[in-house]
Structure 1
Amino acid sequence: MPTIKILRTTLAVLITVTVLAAFVGCNDKDSAPKDTIALTQEQQDSLHFVATHYYSLNYNFVVKADSVQLVKQQPEEVLNNMHTDTLAVYRHDHIAVAEIRIIPTDLVDSVWIQVARDQSTFGWVHESALLASVVPSDPISQFISAFSDTHLVVFLIIISVISVAYLMRTIFQRNAKIVHFNDIGSFYPTLLALIVASSATLYASIQLFAPDTWEHFYFHSTLNPFIVSPILGIFLISVWAMLIVGLAVVDVARNLLPASDALLYLCGLAGVCAINYIVFSIATLYYVGYVMYAAYVYFALRMYFTRFRCAYVCGSCGARMGSKGRCPVCGAENY
């Protein structure tokens, strides 16, 4: 009997909710405005420009080139070969988009942008010349721009290779701990290396298959993974995961190793992560990175679970052990 009463009550509630929903839906339909908002041609052009160029009026840039030359007169005067004056804005100057003009007859670049540094310093420049010399004022966008610079990437590759080679030589000479080869009994270092490789692969994949998505993110960057597209959300989550797991690795290394060995281990891990970022972000652009990534995941997991996983704890001193038997720390037998 109680069950029947519960079913009857539930059914009554469902019927009531359905009727109310239908009633509200009808009222919303009747009260909906019958006329749509009409946009002017200028407003439509502005929306189209934002959708294709990712910025609009009042957008802020920072000059990254040595200087940007601006034309004081109107673009039509430049196209008609009339006399014009120029002025310059310089590196680190903050400028804002004051006006956008499309001139189809310009064979060089049909988009002209008027930018202003202050009330007395403003002028026109081709969009292509502007974007090559500026970066969005957002710190995240500036970070992305810095790490996309070809000269910096080449410099980082050279420094990373030299540093890792030196660290590996030192580590193997001292038989010190190093991730994947002579690892500590924690999964966090392996997990951090895998996260870096995954993030680099995903980063290159976005640039390869969804460049518009990355371009929009570049102009409207954020660290919130829940207000962007799913693919960018996954990438941002992996960035946060790197930070969190990295802190866990530092804590684990500090507890399991002496201070000097922990520092050497963390430096070696940082070198491995740097190589992972460089190799997978570049190799993925040529598709071979996917095969390398799958092989690397298999190698990293196999090395940890077959050689370095500590499933036991010494009953005498509490040291972690990979298998039962004599404790490597205190010598106690564990069965």
Structure 2
Amino acid sequence: MLKINIRFVPLAVLAIMALTFFSGCYQERMRNDGPKQTVMEEVSDTASLPAALHYSLNYNFVVRADSLSLLRQRPEEYLNGMTTDSVSVFRGNHLVVADICVIPTDTIDSLWVKVARDQETIGWIHDSSLLPAVVPDDPISQFILIFSDIHLLIFLIVISIISVAYLMRTIFRRNAKIVHFNDIPSFYPMLLALTVAFSATLYSSIQMFAPDMWQNFYFHPTLNPFGLPIIISVFIMAVWAILIVAIAAVDVVFKELPFGDAMLYLCGLAGVCAVNYIVFSITTLYFAGYLLLAAYLFFALRLYFRGSYYTCLCGNCGARMRSRGRCPECGAMNE
């Protein structure tokens, strides 16, 4: 019979939370025709289109809409009122970019893209109609898109707030261990919460100050932090740091607490991380997140050094002590 180490259950939960929280992007930015029209005005020839659009010939998409209609004839024939025919592709179909052209006389969208499912199913479509209906054929991009849905984000926020409120009530009523306030003598839980707060602040900063850079990452994602623009590289390293610190935090919590208390502590820690993500990712959009992050860093470190930082061990029983002197556990004097 297959046995599962129970310690890895909360670790898996924390890992999923980390990927969930920091893989989202606001697709409304990609669908906005205004910025794209500005880009098109700056493009002087079709050779520079791939760099401006973040995708190029032979780029692969997957249809996520129920269906997508493609124009079989050249776009010029359609714009001149000639008789045309269309072909449809459906959800889950894989498409490849076969051609890209600019038609300045098109008042709806000057950019047309030719995509093909196979040799028989091929046609043209406006770029503005294509992008909302497809997703790059990459698991990271697809993961980003899933958690960029605004309705899902609102649902996650509501569920997180309700869960955290219930957990905090239970923890304080039982006087159980909780990160920051009644913490265990370990640096890792606090470090995890701080890393989540920093990553959320950085994520929102990218959305505000470098949306085009994040859009390019969406079309060409990687979990390798090297070779990326510095701000994206730092963000990816922060996400990896969350997973690594989470492993250390789960391990030390099970060593410090009984199983039931450890599970409650980890649930509380996950709740604090969820609140940190929500608060810092939203407040940073209004520039208050930077001051809040500095205050939170000071607050967390101050509580840690005042309540959970130990520098000595009792020579008799091994209990942790803040300084030399009489052991609070066994009463032995430590000089």
Which TM-score band applies after superposition, normalised by the shorter structure? 0.7 to 0.9
Asked if 1:82 is matched to 2:85, the reply is no
**Equivalent residue runs for 1:193-232 within 5 Å:** 193-232=193-232
- Following TM superposition, by how much is the alpha carbon of 1:247 offset from its aligned partner in structure 2, in angstroms? 0.3
The structure-2 alpha-carbon separation of the partners of 1:331 and 1:265, relative to structure 1 and needing over 3 Å to count, comes to farther
The structure-2 alpha-carbon separation of the partners of 1:258 and 1:208, relative to structure 1 and needing over 3 Å to count, comes to same
In structure 2, what is the equivalent of residue 316 of structure 1? 316
Q: TM-score, normalised by structure 2?
A: 0.82
- Is the CA contact 1:60–1:136 (under 8 Å) kept in the aligned structure 2? yes
CA RMSD after TM alignment: 1.8
- For residues 79 and 131 of structure 1, the distance between their equivalents in structure 2, rounded to whole angstroms, comes to 21
Q: TM-score, normalised by structure 1?
A: 0.82
Amino acid at match of 2:153: V
- For residues 152 and 64 of structure 1, the distance between their equivalents in structure 2, rounded to whole angstroms, comes to 16
- Is the CA contact 2:46–2:101 (under 8 Å) kept in the aligned structure 1? no
- Is the CA contact 2:101–2:112 (under 8 Å) kept in the aligned structure 1? yes
The structure-2 alpha-carbon separation of the partners of 1:330 and 1:144, relative to structure 1 and needing over 3 Å to count, comes to farther
In structure 2, what is the equivalent of residue 61 of structure 1? 61
- Following TM superposition, by how much is the alpha carbon of 1:323 offset from its aligned partner in structure 2, in angstroms? 4.3
- Following TM superposition, by how much is the alpha carbon of 1:85 offset from its aligned partner in structure 2, in angstroms? 2.7
Calculate percent identity across the aligned residue pairs.
Answer: 64
Amino acid at match of 2:132: A
Number of matched residues? 292
Amino acid at match of 2:156: L
In structure 2, what is the equivalent of residue 117 of structure 1? 117
- Is the CA contact 1:186–1:310 (under 8 Å) kept in the aligned structure 2? no
Asked if 1:185 is matched to 2:185, the reply is yes
- Following TM superposition, by how much is the alpha carbon of 1:147 offset from its aligned partner in structure 2, in angstroms? 2.1
The structure-2 alpha-carbon separation of the partners of 1:264 and 1:325, relative to structure 1 and needing over 3 Å to count, comes to farther
In structure 2, what is the equivalent of residue 245 of structure 1? 245
In structure 2, what is the equivalent of residue 274 of structure 1? 274
- Is the CA contact 1:177–1:265 (under 8 Å) kept in the aligned structure 2? yes
In structure 2, what is the equivalent of residue 258 of structure 1? 258
- Is the CA contact 1:57–1:100 (under 8 Å) kept in the aligned structure 2? yes
The structure-2 alpha-carbon separation of the partners of 1:318 and 1:75, relative to structure 1 and needing over 3 Å to count, comes to same
- Following TM superposition, by how much is the alpha carbon of 1:87 offset from its aligned partner in structure 2, in angstroms? 2.6
The structure-2 alpha-carbon separation of the partners of 1:68 and 1:187, relative to structure 1 and needing over 3 Å to count, comes to same
- Following TM superposition, by how much is the alpha carbon of 1:162 offset from its aligned partner in structure 2, in angstroms? 0.9
- For residues 112 and 118 of structure 1, the distance between their equivalents in structure 2, rounded to whole angstroms, comes to 19
The structure-2 alpha-carbon separation of the partners of 1:103 and 1:177, relative to structure 1 and needing over 3 Å to count, comes to same
- Following TM superposition, by how much is the alpha carbon of 1:242 offset from its aligned partner in structure 2, in angstroms? 0.7
- Following TM superposition, by how much is the alpha carbon of 1:260 offset from its aligned partner in structure 2, in angstroms? 1.0
In structure 2, what is the equivalent of residue 300 of structure 1? 300
Once superposed, which parts of structure 1, at least 4 consecutive aligned residues long, lie more than 3 Å away? Answer: 44-47, 321-335
- Following TM superposition, by how much is the alpha carbon of 1:262 offset from its aligned partner in structure 2, in angstroms? 0.8
**Deviations 1:131-160, CA, capped at 9 Å, x for gaps:** 111111111112222222211111110111
Amino acid at match of 1:65: A
- Following TM superposition, by how much is the alpha carbon of 1:332 offset from its aligned partner in structure 2, in angstroms? 4.6
The structure-2 alpha-carbon separation of the partners of 1:326 and 1:81, relative to structure 1 and needing over 3 Å to count, comes to farther
In structure 2, what is the equivalent of residue 126 of structure 1? 126
In structure 2, what is the equivalent of residue 70 of structure 1? 70
**Equivalent residue runs for 1:31-180 within 5 Å:** 45-180=45-180
- Is the CA contact 2:201–2:290 (under 8 Å) kept in the aligned structure 1? yes
- Following TM superposition, by how much is the alpha carbon of 1:46 offset from its aligned partner in structure 2, in angstroms? 4.3
- Following TM superposition, by how much is the alpha carbon of 1:276 offset from its aligned partner in structure 2, in angstroms? 1.0
**Deviations 1:151-209, CA, capped at 9 Å, x for gaps:** 11111101111111111111111111111111110111111111111111111111111
User: For structure 2, which runs of at least 5 residues remain unmatched after alignment?
Assistant: 1-43
- For residues 237 and 189 of structure 2, the distance between their equivalents in structure 1, rounded to whole angstroms, comes to 18
- Is the CA contact 1:96–1:117 (under 8 Å) kept in the aligned structure 2? yes
Which protein has the larger Cα radius of gyration, Structure 1 or Structure 2?
A: 1
Amino acid at match of 2:286: Y
- Is the CA contact 1:60–1:137 (under 8 Å) kept in the aligned structure 2? yes
The structure-2 alpha-carbon separation of the partners of 1:326 and 1:100, relative to structure 1 and needing over 3 Å to count, comes to same
Amino acid at match of 1:191: L
- For residues 98 and 236 of structure 2, the distance between their equivalents in structure 1, rounded to whole angstroms, comes to 32
User: For structure 1, which runs of at least 5 residues remain unmatched after alignment?
Assistant: 1-43
